Amino acid sequence: METISAAKSFGGTQGVYRHKSEACNCDMVFALFMPPKAAQERVPLLWFLSGLTCTHQNVMDKGEYRRLAAELGIAVICPDTSPRGDDVPDEPENWQFGKGAGFYLDATQAPFNRNYRMATYIAEELPLLVGQNFALDMDRQSICGHSMGGHGAITIALRNPGRYRSVSAFAPIAQPSTAGWSRPAFEKYLGADESAWRTYDSTLLIEDGYRLPELLIDQGTADGFLDDGLRPHLLQEACSKANIPLTLNMRDGYDHSYFFISTFIDDHLRWHGERLRK
């Protein structure tokens, strides 16, 4: 693992690191903020999974998570959203597939199955790496994400019961297997048999019996993707049927951007912080 950069921020360290990923078969970069408390003891870890087109950098630059994470003593990790590199198959003109659009799944279809294994990367490989290299208490993890990353956070948490103390999302893609902007990617990554898609769809995982203790979602009412791409009501229905307590905050006038995320990131940090206490 190589340190690309490390800067003092709010008394802690905002680092950017590169490592060789076995899951993705390429070099991967992630951002990790370690709060000042990590100088004294192992600290809990919050995952932030980003949305389409993003790298680790978007939320690192615009998420405004460090002030409160430093105060609460929480580390925040911001992974990339796909494998990267010249050898990774891609559709450069398509922002909804390929690089920047890994959808947090393990592709089964060639040629994508060689690199697009973000589910394994996020849930298995990267936790092991950071647990070994940083002062993290890996028994205290929580996960959140935005848009495609909200989908990633919820599906990964559903498939790994007990792993994360808490799960939240900003404007998550509730049902990617039926949304126009994600269906083509699912077919290319996973094949035409839609039964294989269920394991990467929050609403269908819940339908299939996977459970979360509770869920926090913030969604802007002025989000241009709300009605076609995101559809929180589908998640609301699934949670309701499954008796999963869902806090869905519809935020009047907010859009899909980091201006929305940064406005409400403190609420999510406090919510996770309460559940990450020893």
Q: Which residues bind a copy of itself (CB under 8 A)?
A: 7-11, 14, 61-62, 64, 66-67, 220, 222, 253-255, 257-260, 262-263, 266
Q: With H, G, I as helix, E, B as strand and everything else as coil, classify residue 23.
A: coil
Residue 112 has which token pair? 């994508």
Q: Do 220 and 226 contact (CB within 8 A), yes or no?
A: yes
Q: How far is CA 6 from the centre of its chain?
A: 22
Residues composing the chain = 278
Active site residue 262: no
Active site residue 9: no
CA distances from 259 to 63, 170, 253 (A): 8, 12, 11
Neighbours of 139 (CB within 10 A): 12
Exactly one of 151, 223, 268, 272 is catalytic; name it: 223
> Within the chain, what is the greatest distance between any pair of CA atoms?
51
Exactly one of 56, 146, 151, 256 is catalytic; name it: 256
> Is 95 or 259 the residue whose CB approaches a copy of itself more closely?
259
- Considering the complex, what minimum distance in angstroms separates the CB of residue 208 from a copy of itself? 37
Block residue for tokens 């898609």: 197
Ramachandran class of 11: left when φ > 0, alpha when ψ lies in -120 to 50, beta otherwise: left
Exactly one of 9, 50, 142, 147 is catalytic; name it: 147
Rounded Cα distance between 194 and 17, Å, is: 36
- List CB contacts of 128: < 8 A, sequence separation 6 or more: none
Active site residue 223: yes
Active-site residues, by number, are: 147, 223, 256
